[in-house]
Structure 1
Amino acid sequence: MLQPIRTRTRITGVVQGVGFRPFVHALAARLGVSGFVGNDVHGVFVEAEAHRDVLDRFHAALREQAPPLAEIDELTSSELPATGATGFTIAGSDATGRAGALVAADSATCADCLAEVADADARRSGYAFTNCTNCGPRFTIVTGIPYDRPSTTMAPFPMCPACAAEYHDPADRRFHAQPVCCPDCGPRLRLTDASGAGLGPEPIAGAAELLRAGSVLAVKGLGGYHLAVDATRESACALLRARKHREDKAFAVMAGDLTAAHALCEIDAAGAELLISRRRPIVLLPHRADSPVAASVAPGNRELGLMLPYTPLHRLLLDATGAPIVLTSGNLSDEPIAYRDADAFDRLAPIADAFLTHDRDIRTRTDDSVVRPQPPGRRGAILLRRSRGYVPEPLRVPWEFPEPVLACGGELKNTFCLAEGNRAFLSHHIGDLENLETLRSFTDGIEHFQRLFEIEPQLVAHDLHPEYLSTKHARGLPGAQLVGVQHHHAHIASCLADNGSRGPVIGVAFDGTGYGTDGSMWGGEFLIADLAGFDRVGHLEQFRLPGGAAAIRHPWRTAAAVLHVAFDGDPPQDLAVLRRNADTWPTVQTLLRSGLNSPVTSSAGRLFDAVAAITGVRDAVSCEGQAAVELEQAADPAHRGTYRVPINGSDVLRPATADLVRGVVADVRSGVALPVISARFHNGIADAITDTCLQLSERTGIGEIALSGGVFANQVLLHRTVQRLAESGLQVLTHSRVPCNDGGLSLGQAVVAGARG
């Protein structure tokens, strides 16, 4: 007679807060397995007893049939003496020991919960906080590990008898769902004015009426407050833009469902898959010419940042409003998103006419993620901002960090990264570290991650720029073993980690500016790099930035600089950019001749700015990268003409961008259309990258190219470059799990520190 056996199984990964214990309980009941399942600081543990063939099926199903939000890292089993016990239970959570369990990202409301919200006869009909084990808030409400209700911001809301019955019923999809609640026991909505005074008993209906009337509404979401207006009303969108002091940068739009989204954008299968995914990011998609969205939502932009509702609150609001809404971060320009109620009322009162808020606290401020679909033939997303819906799920690398690492990131688009074992916890989007509130968000985030995952870093990586607040934070940590990482090496290392490669590669790091090892501002770099180190073997032709930071805000100044190089200080006097800025042009020329307050740079990003000014796209910007983005938007994607860019130098190769600039000027003076000039410029840069990489490949024997840095967020340049490199027989690594911009910089710093440590 076959004897039962007993096993103890350990499951690690994203297995808490995703319905894993109820799934195991139901599986055991179906297969006739006895034992128990529980949470602890490492993940999920299971003791199971049955005949061997039954246990084999049980263990296989643990991985193959796991809940949709679960991500299993490891599943290991060992045998124990059989006990003869019957039945299967969920054990109490064990909070002792060092934390190793992972926290799930926030997940969009599932179809079952949405159906309940829409059912007039359901107990949760119209309830804005409906959730279950397959959806709802996770990271933004978690205060500690293991993931149980007392360790979330749902702790102040005791379950009513009906919710408790669901919570304890193994047959219910809310079995052990920690945020479970209903109108009788959960958070409640309020619609108020800026003083906090109530505006009626029906918050959703009242909010929708305000939106239809053209008002600006502050809405408390999962990770912070958003500002909303009717996206089809030009006057409302213009009002929001004026109050928010956001001159030109595009707003994101939320549509009620996929059908409504198709009326706003051209959406293929890849775009639709991203829109309806559980992560619910903002997806950049081609804007339909006949879209009803107001012109001031995304002025001069061929793309629209589009998302679908990811909470019942959003779905109810969209249904009641009957139109798409702008949903943009609740802040003034350059400030972090407001997420605490008192701060939101204080900071947003000058912008919002009313507040749709609630009484569940947000633990961690988290912006929306921003993605693009991968090019045709490739699945998934190109991440431009990795935040809500993705964080804090770790990035795994195929090597071990020898010691725990904290990487502090850069100044713009800051993220930090904690790494241990083979996992890197890249933070949510912090923002630009240029004010005290953002710095507080940065330091609070690091402390929170360290508590959640119990990582005590032994190595602290930072950028070489001495004035970055992230660098100053690293250097101020007591007893830290510091690892300074050059900015562009970190970009290439980030791309290597994104692709699970150690290198070496020919790294092409193109961005705005980064502090170089020679004290100059780099930004158009060719590196022979692996994780531990690099050699700078090429860079774009250098020019000066007259006035330093002023040249970044005023691209016409950078235009003066590249024209100064291209024409030996005597550019054609009939250029419109010179005439438009005739009053101050001589002063800038003096700066360029003297070198006073005019640092030398090889920046690709600033070169794009300069060409944007020369072609009349933009002389001044209100946000980082604006001129380059608008130049990209102007390019004719079908045009294949190019500007010639010779490659100068021997030991260090230097693509002669002065030749490219002279080509741009010749076409401008000849009246060639902007879409053609922009396309030729982009093609010329792609050709220069390819020609330089081919020379370096022949010299070194390295055939793999890694592309990183914020300039490669430019899809015209990225696609042209990847195509040309591939046609030349070179292998190309690009980003897919982290942003190519400075949002991925901290991952690169972490893996460099690990490789050196």
Structure 2
Amino acid sequence: MIVDGEATARERRRLRLYVRGAVQGVGFRPYVYGLATRYRLGGFVANDPHGVVIEIEGDRAADFVTALPLEKPPLARIDKISVQPIGAVASAEFCIRPSEQGRVSTRIVADAATCPQCLDELFDPNSRFHLYPFINCTHCGPRYTIAERLPYDRSTTAMKRFAMCAACAAEYADPASRRFHAEAIACPQCGPRLSHGMSEIAAVLAAGRIVAIKGLGGYQLLCDARDDDVVRRLRQSKQRDQKPFAVMVGSRDAVDEIAEGEATELALLESTPRPIVLMKSRQSLASTIAPDLSRIGVMLPVAPLHHLLFQALALAYPRPDGSRWVIVATSANPGGEPLVIDNDEAERRLAGIADLIVTHDRDIITRADDSVVSVVAGHAQFIRRARGYVPDPIRLPRPVPSVLAVGGALKTTVTLTRDNEAFVSQHIGDLDTAEGIRFFEETIDHLIATLDVAPIVVAHDLHPNMASTRFAEASGRSLSVQHHHAHAASVMAEHGIDRPAIALVLDGFGYGDDGGNWGGELLLCEGARFRRIGHLTPLKMPGGDRAAREPWRMAASVLQALGCSEEIQRRFAEQPQAARVGALLERSDLPTTTSAGRLFDAAAGLLGVSMRQSYEGEAAMKLEARVRRTRVVDGGWTLAQGVLSLLPLFERLLADATDAYEGAELFHGTLAAACVDWIERAARQTGHTTVVLSGGCFLNAVLGEEVLRGCRSVGLDALLTRQVPPNDGGLSLGQAWIAAQKVTEQGFEGNA
């Protein structure tokens, strides 16, 4: 935070302050009012298009300036305070003025979980908010998901249709109230209402049925997480065969019944954004929650209605064994489509899944899934960044031109830059349906409107057949960015790296500069340019894209590469296509890949962990779940002219007939050690010691921690992405950073 001008503040009687940052919708104006009243100052405070403007007049103006950043509301973030003297006007009173209009350069803060004060009132029989599922104040509640545009006032949110009752209006106008100018203030007399009571919702869940309920960022599907039958039914209805479900518990104490949480994980669980946190499972829930995985996604209640639901279940339906209620809480998006947010749409699309659909009459303006995080090397790492974190910006190393970046095809996000900030959207998802593309376009429109900027270029992936690429090219202002370069740049952007860096990018697939299937790449990145200095040894992909869905095919490819083609049909006798694949692999015209993701698939196939994948990354996740400690195969890799081969490792796995657990440990340990060797040699050759690690494979905590530790042990400055996911969810940030540098360095003439 920067404060300009306070050195001479004591000499001035009237000061004008401009406060920039996340200062709208967080109780900042009432905070300023209270502070000015304390110091007996005259003047005013108002939202303006850039943040908040304050004028103060009185003997203790300097004390006010000093205190302003120190006692700010919990959700506020101050980036800069500018102070300038102006002529005195002899005002004795201090007031809150209406917001100023104009071009917007401030921002909305993310939605926040129910604060402790509101929670106390929720269960206080003497409170007028007693058991009201939409209680909120300036410290908590919906923000981004209900905001239409800035400045953030009630008239520009989904709350504009609800006229405040006399009691709410009085609190809204009372400087002593926690709801002073709380734009989403509401109570049972004047605010939104649920379509069903908590007792009815609890009864349906207790009967082993499924409930769809409207949350902060969209509808969720809920059911009893200890009931295998209802979880199986939910999987069947949602067409979600094996992909893990997240669960919600009512309190921090209940977490210990189902998971082993480290301090960092528990702190994330209780943080204001309330993400889903991956923790080691105690395997005490239905076996169908997270099949064959060692970790489970856990979250605490986010909104008041969640707290009320757990209370209703505990009071009316206590469990005979004394255990606490745990419920599946998963996004209501059938068939991989975008999250449902509209009431009519919910009735239409969720009727075949849920036994009860619970609506309310407060609109969701912007849909946002629950965020998902894990802890890698002691720090939070995003798997999915959405509710609770978006639209908080990522600070860039320097101001850049306004650029829109549209990500890839899977796990899509978009990024818009403004000055020295990058605004990465909430998780959009895959762009393989009309609904997904529509959500993608809605997100772009809303982000541009909210930030009030006009991007001069639209950055996109190099792959020509993505929906995001077609969108960018249709703008007439498109600029392509190679996939793995963008992965690397996402780490460089968030860490403010303006020097050359070696990048190890390990992921599933990215379109290469040569049109090939890249995915295990060592790059040298400098500014807006990169050079490929290494890659994994290419492996054949029998069946093309089918090889990514059926790990046994990549295992067969490894067998053929080792000269063991005769093993394919014997080892995979249960696969009807085994003989055909064996013959196919003898051809020289098969597509090849350098993908690290396909190496994980090959290992999972050889070890019998996964033959077919029902969701992306399934084989790798199940392989990781079998690691108790890593081990390294001596001589388990070769490295020649920048090409890294793990075939010696696979040869060892075949020769020793290891079980899945030992094999998983050898695979992870050897791959990590090989990567460190690869990076260290490149560092010696190039003279560069900064290393960035990115790509979807770094969602694997074992791999991430081992490579990070190994690099640092040999004196390299290694960094993982922390503010965006390492998978394609972070791609748009890297695209934006590269495109902005290209525009700055070279100018832009369109369709580069």
After superposition, residues 186-201 of structure 1 pair within 5 angstroms as 186-191=191-196
* CA RMSD of superposed structures (Å): 1.4
Please tell me whether the aligned partners of residues 36 and 94 of structure 2 are also in contact (alpha carbons under 8 angstroms).
yes
Please tell me whether the aligned partners of residues 647 and 692 of structure 1 are also in contact (alpha carbons under 8 angstroms).
no
Secondary structure of 2:336 counterpart = coil
Post-superposition offset of 1:644? 2.8
- Find the partner of 1:345 among 332, 347, 350: 347
Structure 2 residue aligned with 1:133? 138
Post-superposition offset of 1:530? 2.4
Confirm or deny that 1:722 pairs with 2:708.
Answer: yes
Structure 2 residue aligned with 1:288? 282
After superposition, residues 543-622 of structure 1 pair within 5 angstroms as 543-567=539-563, 570-572=565-567, 576=571, 578-581=572-575, 583-595=576-588, 598-622=590-614
Structure 2 residue aligned with 1:200? none
- Find the partner of 2:685 among 691, 695, 699: 699
Structure 2 distance, partners of 1:647, 1:77, is 62
- Find the partner of 1:174 among 176, 179, 195: 179
Post-superposition offset of 1:566? 2.1
Structure 2 residue aligned with 1:385? 384
Structure 2 distance, partners of 1:161, 1:212, is 39
Post-superposition offset of 1:490? 0.2
Structure 1 residue aligned with 2:4? none
Residues 475, 640 of structure 1: CA spacing in aligned structure 2 closer, same or farther, 3 A cutoff? same
Please tell me whether the aligned partners of residues 642 and 679 of structure 1 are also in contact (alpha carbons under 8 angstroms).
no
Uncovered stretches (5+) of structure 1, i.e. residues with no partner: 192-202
Q: Which amino acid aligns with 2:631?
A: R
Structure 1 distance, partners of 2:494, 2:585, is 40
Structure 2 distance, partners of 1:163, 1:3, is 41
Post-superposition offset of 1:594? 2.8
Structure 1 distance, partners of 2:15, 2:518, is 57
Please tell me whether the aligned partners of residues 643 and 683 of structure 1 are also in contact (alpha carbons under 8 angstroms).
no
Post-superposition offset of 1:574? 8.0
User: What fraction of aligned residue pairs are identical, expressed as a percent?
Assistant: 44
Post-superposition offset of 1:573? 5.5
Structure 2 distance, partners of 1:685, 1:99, is 49
Q: Which amino acid aligns with 1:592?
A: L
Structure 2 residue aligned with 1:38? 46
Structure 2 distance, partners of 1:515, 1:677, is 31
Q: Which amino acid aligns with 2:650?
A: V
Q: Which amino acid aligns with 1:632?
A: E
- Find the partner of 2:639 among 634, 648, 660: 648
Structure 2 distance, partners of 1:218, 1:457, is 38
Q: Which amino acid aligns with 2:203?
A: E
Confirm or deny that 1:227 pairs with 2:215.
Answer: no
Structure 1 residue aligned with 2:675? 689
Q: How many residues align?
A: 724
After superposition, residues 4-43 of structure 1 pair within 5 angstroms as 5-43=13-51
Please tell me whether the aligned partners of residues 569 and 582 of structure 2 are also in contact (alpha carbons under 8 angstroms).
no
Please tell me whether the aligned partners of residues 17 and 147 of structure 1 are also in contact (alpha carbons under 8 angstroms).
yes
Please tell me whether the aligned partners of residues 496 and 531 of structure 1 are also in contact (alpha carbons under 8 angstroms).
no
Please tell me whether the aligned partners of residues 559 and 568 of structure 2 are also in contact (alpha carbons under 8 angstroms).
no
The CA deviation string for residues 156-193 of structure 1, in whole angstroms up to 9 with x for no partner, is 101001000000000000000000000000000013xx
Secondary structure of 1:634 counterpart = coil
After superposition, residues 223-622 of structure 1 pair within 5 angstroms as 223-289=217-283, 291=284, 293-322=285-314, 323-375=325-377, 378=378, 380-401=379-400, 403-477=401-475, 479-480=476-477, 482-567=478-563, 570-572=565-567, 576=571, 578-581=572-575, 583-595=576-588, 598-622=590-614
Please tell me whether the aligned partners of residues 214 and 233 of structure 1 are also in contact (alpha carbons under 8 angstroms).
yes
Please tell me whether the aligned partners of residues 635 and 674 of structure 1 are also in contact (alpha carbons under 8 angstroms).
no
Structure 2 distance, partners of 1:571, 1:737, is 47
Secondary structure of 1:16 counterpart = coil
Uncovered stretches (5+) of structure 2, i.e. residues with no partner: 1-9, 315-324, 744-752
Structure 1 distance, partners of 2:558, 2:596, is 12
Please tell me whether the aligned partners of residues 43 and 101 of structure 1 are also in contact (alpha carbons under 8 angstroms).
yes
Structure 1 distance, partners of 2:439, 2:18, is 35
The CA deviation string for residues 430-469 of structure 1, in whole angstroms up to 9 with x for no partner, is 0011111011000000000100101100011100001111
The CA deviation string for residues 43-69 of structure 1, in whole angstroms up to 9 with x for no partner, is 100001122xx2222112111111000
Secondary structure of 1:593 counterpart = coil
Structure 1 distance, partners of 2:716, 2:51, is 42
Structure 2 residue aligned with 1:49? 57
Secondary structure of 2:597 counterpart = helix
Structure 1 residue aligned with 2:81? 75
Please tell me whether the aligned partners of residues 274 and 373 of structure 1 are also in contact (alpha carbons under 8 angstroms).
no
Please tell me whether the aligned partners of residues 387 and 427 of structure 1 are also in contact (alpha carbons under 8 angstroms).
yes
Secondary structure of 2:724 counterpart = coil
Secondary structure of 2:396 counterpart = strand
Structure 1 residue aligned with 2:621? 629
Structure 2 residue aligned with 1:199? none
Secondary structure of 2:73 counterpart = coil
- Find the partner of 2:655 among 650, 661, 666: 666
Please tell me whether the aligned partners of residues 26 and 139 of structure 2 are also in contact (alpha carbons under 8 angstroms).
yes
Please tell me whether the aligned partners of residues 493 and 531 of structure 1 are also in contact (alpha carbons under 8 angstroms).
no
Post-superposition offset of 1:648? 3.4
Secondary structure of 2:339 counterpart = coil
Q: Which amino acid aligns with 2:175?
A: P
Structure 2 distance, partners of 1:490, 1:706, is 12
Task: Select between 262-271 and 116-125 the one with higher mean Cα deviation.
Answer: 262-271
Q: Which amino acid aligns with 2:392?
A: E
Please tell me whether the aligned partners of residues 281 and 369 of structure 1 are also in contact (alpha carbons under 8 angstroms).
yes
Structure 2 distance, partners of 1:19, 1:275, is 24
Structure 2 residue aligned with 1:197? none
The CA deviation string for residues 493-523 of structure 1, in whole angstroms up to 9 with x for no partner, is 0011121112311100000000000010100
Structure 2 distance, partners of 1:321, 1:599, is 55
Post-superposition offset of 1:643? 5.4
> Normalization by structure 1: what TM-score?
0.94
Secondary structure of 1:753 counterpart = helix
Q: Which amino acid aligns with 1:155?
A: K
Post-superposition offset of 1:547? 1.5
After superposition, residues 62-141 of structure 1 pair within 5 angstroms as 62-95=68-101, 97-141=102-146
Please tell me whether the aligned partners of residues 286 and 302 of structure 1 are also in contact (alpha carbons under 8 angstroms).
yes
Task: Select between 125-134 and 77-86 the one with higher mean Cα deviation.
Answer: 77-86
Please tell me whether the aligned partners of residues 633 and 649 of structure 2 are also in contact (alpha carbons under 8 angstroms).
no
Please tell me whether the aligned partners of residues 631 and 670 of structure 2 are also in contact (alpha carbons under 8 angstroms).
no
Secondary structure of 1:89 counterpart = strand
